[in-house]
């Protein structure tokens, strides 16, 4: 058993080095994995499955090849690509996961999240998230003319361009109480999430029991992969 977890690649045409490193990863270490989990913000922006995008085609072709080779691929929405829909999943052979999702690894219950919903101290963001992610707003967003969605995307990009790529300092960290609440209510010993761009393995204690919170890294100066097998959890970075 060897499962791979990644998140926050923020794939975009402006960073071909990241796409290249990801495609290489699919052809090498993912090839004989038992499963690949992508926990959100896979793409820097996603305007809808109907948006013609050569980068998305290239990536979905490569994912489909891997899934046809027998490696299941699970994809969770992030806060930047939550409009990824059924069509992209079908084209790429991915299964869409709810946020949160519970899986079992080495006989233990593990909670998977993107992580943005743990950052409850950013009240303004949480308000926007509630609005954007409710079924009615999602329906409206998905059915806006592509031109309008492009305009919204450009606006978001202009606003984020001033600070280039998102650094950990730009992102509110998780709320510790919310982490404990989620882990306790889902009765898990491990939580794996991304979003905060603060890769680390945090040992914790909940109700006298040792547990852990694993934060995946964002792909920027280096790439990050969490490998899980019978020997445990290894968070690795590599040069792009």
Residue 116 near residue 196 (C-beta atoms within 8 A) = no
Of residues 41 and 99, the one with the C-beta less far from Mn ion:
41
Based on the shown chain and the rule CB under 5 A, indicate whether residue 195 belongs to the binding site for Mn ion.
yes
Please give the residues from 11 up to 70 whose contact with Mn ion meets the rule CB under 5 A.
41
Based on the shown chain and the rule CB under 5 A, indicate whether residue 117 belongs to the binding site for Mn ion.
no
Of residues 66 and 84, the one with the C-beta less far from Mn ion:
84
CB of 187 to Mn ion, least distance (A): 26
CB of 194 to Mn ion, least distance (A): 7
Based on the shown chain and the rule CB under 5 A, indicate whether residue 78 belongs to the binding site for Mn ion.
yes
Of residues 79 and 172, the one with the C-beta less far from Mn ion:
79
* Residue 146-185 contact track with Mn ion, rule CB under 5 A, x = bound: ----------------------------------------
- Which residues are near Mn ion by CB under 5 A? 41, 78-79, 195
């Amino acid at each position: 058993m060897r499962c791979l977890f990644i998140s926050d690649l923020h794939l975009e045409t402006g960073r071909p080095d990241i796409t290249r490193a990801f495609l290489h990863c699919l052809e090498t270490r993912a090839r004989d994995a038992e499963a690949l989990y992508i926990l959100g913000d896979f793409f820097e922006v996603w305007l809808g499955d109907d948006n013609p995008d050569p980068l998305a085609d290239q990536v979905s072709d490569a994912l489909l090849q891997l899934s046809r080779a027998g490696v299941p691929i699970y994809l969770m929405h992030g806060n930047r690509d939550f409009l990824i829909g059924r069509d992209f999943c079908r084209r790429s052979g991915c299964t869409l996961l709810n946020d949160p999702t519970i899986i079992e690894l080495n006989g233990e219950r593990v909670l998977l999240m993107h992580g943005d919903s743990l950052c409850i101290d950013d009240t303004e963001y949480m308000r926007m998230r509630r609005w954007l992610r409710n079924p009615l707003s999602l329906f409206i967003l998905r059915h806006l003319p592509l031109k309008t969605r492009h305009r919204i995307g450009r606006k978001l990009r202009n606003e984020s361009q001033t600070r280039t790529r998102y650094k950990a300092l730009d992102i509110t960290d998780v709320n510790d109480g919310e982490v404990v609440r989620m882990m306790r209510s889902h009765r898990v010993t491990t939580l794996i999430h991304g979003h905060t761009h603060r890769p680390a393995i945090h040992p914790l204690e909940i109700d006298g029991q040792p547990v852990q919170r694993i934060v995946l890294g964002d792909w920027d100066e280096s790439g990050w992969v969490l490998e899980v097998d019978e020997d445990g959890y290894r968070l690795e970075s590599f040069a792009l």
